[in-house]
A and B are shown apart, each in its own frame.
Chain A
Amino acid sequence: MLAYTVRRLLMLIPVLFGMTLIVFFMIRAIPGDPAQVILGQQATEEAIKSLTKQLGLDQPWYLQYIDYIKNLFTGDLGTSLRTSSDISGEIWPYLAATLELSLVAMVIAIFIGVNAGIISAWFQNSWFDYTAMVLALIGVSMPVFWLGLMEQWAFSLELGWLPSTGRENVRNPVDAITHLYLIDTLIQGRMDQFVEVVKHLILPGIALGTIPMAIIARMTRSSMLEVMRSDFVRTARAKGTKMFWVVYKHSLKNAFIPVLTVIGLQMGLLLGGAILTETIFGWPGIGRYIYDAINFRDYPVIQSGILIVAVIFVFINLIVDLLYAAIDPRIKYN
């Protein structure tokens, strides 16, 4: 297992380098002079020149790239044009907000999705199966912005049960330590704030988790149906094992590989695709951060934001690959 992990980590190095190259050239492929675009039509010649120099754009591209990589190695992501502060310093709170929301959404999606899929397969063609699969079909076809708005309308506006926007009660703000508010409030023992944070997470969490939940449920069901017909399931039953364990132990572990693939992909999509949800729910996440940067033509921030989301995506895939090997002993030997 250790050798496999090390091998997988080494394989990451070229991938990460490739990614920096793509991000670097993607930003530079935007037509026109970035300095001109940033400063607008009325900018003076000197201002454009000085910004070009500040951005390092007067250098040949390979020197720019080497500079960029050098800075990355020292943890320097550049300076935001909008706020004039270090990106590496200001990006974490946004990233933490997105991570917290995505993880909550994913936990909801996995817990409900996997169980719904299992029970549907176990009691195939039952009313539960039909209901769950119709709901899953509706779930995958529901636009996330519409679902978000409907949630806000029903649970905030009409019923008033849950807050509609933000991460915290602004009148009772959380003292940030890690910027993961669930953890921060627990560390400080502020249960009142913890409850507030949970309440704020529910609606965006469900909105973001619905599509992955539906996809996971459908994948789990079809994978379980296939596995539950296998010979080893019959063997387990012939041993006198309870049906619950036949399903949740013998079948699930075998059926989980394709489900894990879907979970990994969906998790990646959540991180990148949370912009809509973050906008609707006023969530101060990385999606919003990049979105604002795009509006302001804050090229260094766009570049860093994309890079970070891409790096997280790659690491999620790494974790999924490692989990494959942990679940199925036949994998690591290949």
Chain B
Amino acid sequence: MEQPVLKVSGLETHFFTDDGEIPAVDSVDFYVNKGEVLGIVGESGSGKSVTSLSIMQLIQAPGKIVGGEITYKGENLISKSEKEMRKIRGNEIGMIFQEPMTSLNPVFRIGNQLIEGIRIHKKWNKKKAWEHAVSILKLVGLPRAEELMNEYPHQLSGGMRQRVMIAMAMACEPEVLIADEPTTALDVTIQAQILELMKKLNKETNTSIIMITHDLGVVAEICDRIAVMYSGKIVEQGKTQDIFQHPKHPYTIGLIESVPDVRVRKDRLYSIPGNVPKPGSIHKGCHFAPRCNFAFDKCYEENPTLLDAGPAQQARCWLHEDAKKAAVLERVKS
């Protein structure tokens, strides 16, 4: 069996605020194989970004990783020192952020920012790093790469900046690329181009990608597998196709139902009733129970574990404890 490149198990990242300890990421498990694209999907505040920053060990106070393991190539990243982590960041694991407008430093030239990481990790001289940076800019499909190297971020459009961000993250050929909502701030046409580019890079360089997004369209486009997050926990995971065709968790069903379909005219779009619970306000039972149409007594008493719900699919829902209950979901779907 294939050994995953990156494996997260039992990750707990809590925020220590004046209002008490808030578990933003609560016992999260997932893995990503070599060359695979994993989507992590969820609403705002579900803990997606905190998860990705935890992997990079870039969580800032008052946040802190309080438990779990992040295994990269057999080594636990959590026990690594800051110095050891610096060798991994940008080199082994690259990261792209949501806001291309603010994620590049406005007072340094593109070239300066691009070669910085290359020079740190590859220890190349300036000339060699510069040439490599130009070739990476060409790889991500930016025209007139040589000129761009001498320009400042404000001279570029949003789509170009995001390409530069991708170039920066890919510059040292990382094993894993974490993309935190890379298309959210972009126009739809540009979004498609960026996704196309990431797909291409994934195929050509065999880099594993963790795609963090709230956009199911993005997931369907690019991901091999999906993990759905809700309120700091993974509530369902499986192959993309399986999850889109047979979602096994009521929350996933709701999410998929909420996507408007151009072929069907509806007066009202579907939305999941209620709101994401405020982090820290959760008591016992399933966190989704108050918004769930299928909730029964047990859901309010005990928090479900991830249960097998298909050949390669798990859902954190008590319905899957016995087949009769799970059948309810199928009926609703059709």
Q: List A residues at the B interface (Cβ < 8 Å).
A: 230-232, 234-243, 250, 253-254, 327-330
Which of chain B's residues has its CB closest to A252's CB?
A: B107
Q: Of A234, A238, A242, A330, which one neighbours B106 at CB under 8 angstroms?
A: A330
Tell me if A254 and B105 are in contact (CB < 8 A): yes
Partner of A235, one of B82, B120, B121, B168: B168
Q: Are A232 and B105 in contact, CB atoms less than 8 angstroms apart?
A: yes
Among residues of A, the one whose C-beta sits closest to the C-beta of B88 is A240
Nearest CB on B from A254, distance (A): 6
Which residues 83-131 of B sit at the A interface, judged by CB distance below 8 A?
86-91, 94-95, 97, 99, 102-108, 116-117, 120-121
A329 to B106, CA, bound (A): 8
Given contacts A235-B168, A240-B121, contact A330 B152 (CB under 8 A): yes
Contact bitstring B168-182, A, C-beta under 8 A = 1, else 0: 110000000000000
Q: Are B58 and A237 in contact (CB under 8 A)?
A: yes
24 contacts between A and B (CB under 8 A): A232-B103, A232-B104, A232-B105, A235-B105, A235-B168, A237-B58, A238-B56, A238-B58, A238-B169, A239-B89, A239-B117, A240-B88, A240-B91, A240-B117, A241-B116, A250-B105, A253-B107, A254-B105, A327-B107, A328-B106, A328-B107, A329-B106, A330-B106, A330-B154
A287 to B56, CA, bound (A): 57
Q: Which A residue's beta carbon lies closest to that of B171?
A: A239
Q: Which 4 A-B pairs have the closest CB atoms?
A: A240-B90, A239-B117, A239-B90, A240-B89
Residues of A within 8 A of B58 (CB): 234, 237-238
A254 engages B97 (CB within 8 Å): no
Bound CA–CA A237/B103 (angstroms)? 11
Query: How many Å lie between the Cα of A232 and that of B161 in the bound state?
Result: 12
Given contacts A230-B102, A253-B107, A328-B106, contact A235 B165 (CB under 8 A): yes
Contact B89 A237 (CB under 8 A): yes
Nearest residue (CB) in A for B101 is A231
When the two chains form their complex, are residues B116 and A239 in contact, meaning their CB atoms are under 8 A apart?
Answer: yes
- The closest CB in chain B to the CB of A253 belongs to B107
A8 CB to closest chain B CB (Å) equals 20
Which residues B268-290 have CB closer than 8 A to chain A? none
Nearest A residue to B154, CB-CB? A330
Q: How far is the CA of A292 from the CA of B106 in the complex (A)?
A: 50
Minimum CB–CB distance for B115 against chain A, Å? 11
Beyond the given A240-B91, A328-B106, please list 9 additional residue pairs across the A-B interface where CB-CB is below 8 A.
A238-B89, A239-B90, A240-B88, A241-B86, A241-B116, A242-B86, A328-B107, A329-B107, A330-B154
| Cα distance A232–B154 in the bound complex, in angstroms | 13
Q: Which residues of A contact B165 (CB under 8 A)?
A: 235
Cα of A239 to Cα of B129 in the assembled complex, Å = 15
